Amino acid sequence: MTILFMSIPLLLPFLSLLLLLFSFFFQWRAPKVVNPGPTSFPVIGCLVAFYKNRRRLLDWYTDMLSVSPTQTIIVSRFGARRTIVTANPQNVEYMLKTNFTNFPKGKPFTEVLGDFLGNGIFNADGDLWYTQRKSVTHLFTNRSLRDYVENVLKEDVEKKLLPLLESAAEEVEGKSLDLQDLLRRLAFDLVCKFSLGFDPCCLDYHSLDTPHPVLEAFDVASDMCARRGAAPLSAMWRVKRFFDIGSERRLREAVCRIHLFINEVVGEKKRKLATGCSNTGLIDQSSTESDDLLSKILLDDKGEEVVRDIMISFIMAENEVVRELTLVENDANLSNYESLKELRFLKACICESMRLFPPVAWDSKHAITDDFLPDGTQVRTGDRVTYFPYGMGRMEDLWGQDQLEFKPERWISKLEEGRRIKALKNVGPYKFPSSRSVPWQRNGFHSNT
């Protein structure tokens, strides 16, 4: 018996070598399929290549997709589901429209974002997703957008942004400002007023040198969730969450701060609604009526967690969509909504920016049953199927040889005399998935102007 136990350690290397040869044999016997994906090995798959490129995943995937005949690759690695990544518009349309029911977000996706987004619309599937979508679609109308631009945006630009820039310019030595940070702060103020009826005052001039705690918490939570999705092994972030260490601890602290902020606003809103006030008092009476999303949802008598999760998802979504900020022009009447539709070159610049740097770099679904994508790629039950807007914006087959250049002119279809833009190209949402989040290309907005 002693000899037997002593021989076990000697047998392990032999068994490992036998397993490796066995895997190589079946890989050699299997039919060769053209798949310009990452270099893979038996058992571990492309884990080595994935780890080497973990800090440049977007460009790594783009490089592989650009040489794929079908603009689709298959990524298999130890510790993760088989993943299909595509930049093929026909595949995107199949996933999002033709066979939409076979490609829900899936539990693996919702687990990654669950601690942050809960059961909000960005992290919901099936009936829960449909119910929440129905609850908020009444805000996405031409009238609500017009009121938003004419009231909330006009007020914040005139009373916050412009005075802030003037104050910085009037200083004796001048004051350098981070314009990107200013616009992020303005966007967050706008979104919170529109969705919560609350002004977090991120644009307070005397606090620009320090990050706003709530805005910073949203950024940290988003970053930590992205790290979960990019982890070489999914078990890594689960172990870190169990022991409350590293990035998972930062995520927990950020989410707690966000929940505290949302719960305080919701509690105050309930008290105001209970007293029968037509206006919440949370923002200036002159700014807008109490027509925010939170008030409407509270009137539907939804649970506290449901309300909180919807608010977080909505803030995250609109924080990416508020790109009307640059509509501030040399026009004394900033509230002229009709004139905004004439800023076609601005729309072209926004579309070009979102082509190269989409708000959502990739979006993953999980197949319910076996399937085939239009390009012939086989999909197995449980596969992660990812469409890749970041890579799609860099495909030569879709945008030409100048696909890496910033050229707003590519969106212009007609010019009038004097080179005045008459119309923009109406690019399909499956070639340009980011258009699904552009306000004027949703729900009947002005896509042809």
The dihedral built from the CA positions of residue 381, 97, 313 and 53, taken in this order, carries a sign that is positive
Question: Could you give phi then psi for residue 379, rounded to 5 degrees?
Answer: -115, 125
Coil vs helix vs strand at 22? helix
Question: Tell me, what amino acid is at 148?
Answer: Y
Strand extents, DSSP E, 304-382: 363-366, 371-372, 378-379
Strand extents, DSSP E, 16-71: none
Question: Tell me, what amino acid is at 372?
Answer: F
pLDDT number for residue 388:
96
**Extents of the domains making up the chain:** 134-335
Cβ pair 197, 282 in contact under 8 A: yes
Residue-wise burial string across 219-249, b where 16 or more C-beta atoms lie within 10 A, e elsewhere: bbbbebbebbeebbeeebbeebbeeeeebbe
Task: Give which of 319, 320, 294, 296 is closest to 308, Cα–Cα.
Answer: 294
Beta bridge partners of 378: 372
Q: How many Cβ atoms sit within 10 Å of the Cβ of residue 200?
A: 19
Residues 346-395: tens digit of each pLDDT: 888 889 999 999 988 999 999 999 999 999 999 999 999 999 999 999 99
pLDDT number for residue 117:
87
Question: Could you give phi then psi for residue 145, rounded to 5 degrees?
Answer: -65, -40
Which residues of the chain are modeled with pLDDT < 50? 1-6, 8, 12, 20, 22-33, 278-289, 319-335, 437-449
Beta bridge partners of 84: 74, 385
Residues 53-77: tens digit of each pLDDT: 988 999 999 999 999 999 999 999 8
Task: Give which of 248, 204, 205, 202 is closest to 223, Cα–Cα.
Answer: 248
Tokens, residue 203 = 């644009």
Please tell me the pTM assigned to this model. Answer: 0.75
Task: Give which of 309, 392, 409 is closest to 352, Cα–Cα.
Answer: 409
pLDDT number for residue 210:
85
Tokens, residue 20 = 């490796």
CATH classification number, 134-335, choose in 1.10.630.10, 1.10.1040.10, 3.90.480.20, 3.40.50.300: 1.10.630.10
